[in-house]
Amino acid sequence: ATRDQSVIFHVAGAIAAWGETDFLRANRDGTRNLVTAAEASGSARFVLISSLAAGGPSPRGLPLQGNESPRPVTAYGRSKLEAERVVQESRLPWTIIRPPMVYGPRDREVLKLFRLVRYGIAPVFGDGAQELSAVHGADLATALVAAGTASATVKRTYNACHPEVFTSAEFAQGIAAAMGRSVRVVRVPRIAGRALLSVTESAARVSGRLTILTVDKANEFFQPAWTGDPSPLIRDTGWRPVYDLRTGLAHTYQWYRNAGWL
């Protein structure tokens, strides 16, 4: 959590855990601790950085606006939704931001796909037609400031992302284009995908390392769409994302190169 001019920005704590209990301890209970402290300190605003996973998947062609009935499909998403409920039940003037996939400099999850594309392959779960939204880290930062300083955003939930929608296959191809390479998109069917995730989860447990690649995550990977509509946030704050997918991936790749990560 960070604080700027009596606005508290809080990222509820864990994207990987050993199970639902640990997710709840980090995301719900950690948020409750900070909310209690914020109430005691008389904070003017509280902005929770949640996740699109708390809202759940979207129908194909119909990005979520943030006011739909939530239906998370993973333990992670349910714990994020519980964190949201803690904030909503508080005495604080709150705003909730649900980013979809976040990428950009210093991100290590998308880096893994960049590294695979370097070798000419890019696995995607399903048929590659899953629709996605994304937000560059720099755009998310400005969205949070806008949400935390606008009066119209109090007690509202928003999706912060670029309005562009793309497929999982197009995302892999976009990474290849940013790197100036050709890539073979390898489509992983559901049965094989669940088996692969079971292996990665088991390997992580044996090694004592956490991973987001668990069997539970298959409930996200094989949905038709994970898309959000940023227009309510744009309307209420005037925020505008700068990076579309092409420019954002190019910027990310250049940072990875300069930092020696690729």
Q: Nearest-CA neighbor of 47 among 3, 17, 13?
A: 3
Across 5-33, average pLDDT: 77
Q: What is the pLDDT of residues 111-148, one digit of tens each?
A: 999 999 999 999 999 999 999 999 999 999 999 999 99
**Tokens of residue 178, six digits:** 């940013």
Question: What CA–CA distance (Å, rounded) separates 114 from 65?
Answer: 30
Q: Are 43 and 8 in contact (CB under 8 A)?
A: yes
**Tokens of residue 211, six digits:** 């991973």
Concatenate the DSSP letters of all residues of 138-192 into one string. Answer: HHHHHHHHHHHH-GGGTTEEEE-S-S--EEHHHHHHHHHHHHT---EEEEE-HHH
Q: Which amino acid is at 195?
A: A
Question: What CA–CA distance (Å, rounded) separates 78 from 55?
Answer: 9
- For residue 125, the surrounding DSSP H or E stretch is strand 121-125
Q: What is the pLDDT of residues 73-123, one digit of tens each?
A: 999 999 999 999 999 999 999 999 999 999 999 999 899 999 999 999 999
- Is the pTM of the predicted complex or chain greater than 0.85? yes
| Beta strand pairing call for 101-103 and 2-4 | unpaired
Residues sharing a CB contact under 8 Å with residue 40, sequence separation 6 or more, in sequence order = none
Q: How high does pLDDT run on average in the chain? A: 91
At 35 the three-state DSSP class reads helix
| 2 band by pLDDT with thresholds 50, 70 and 90 | very low
Concatenate the DSSP letters of all residues of 68-124 into one string. Answer: SPP---SHHHHHHHHHHHHHHTSSS-EEEEE--EEESTT-SHHHHHHHHHHTTEEEE
Question: What CA–CA distance (Å, rounded) separates 47 from 54?
Answer: 15
Annotate 26-56 with b (16+ C-beta within 10 A) or e (fewer).
bbbebbbebbeebeeeebebbbbbbbbbbbb
Q: Which residues make beta-bridge pairs with 225?
A: 131
Question: What CA–CA distance (Å, rounded) separates 233 from 158?
Answer: 6
Q: Are 256 and 248 in contact (CB under 8 A)?
A: no
Whole-number pLDDT of residue 17: 61
Q: What is the pLDDT of residues 233-259, one digit of tens each?
A: 999 999 999 999 999 999 999 999 999
| Beta strand pairing call for 131-132 and 101-103 | unpaired
Q: Which amino acid is at 100?
A: P
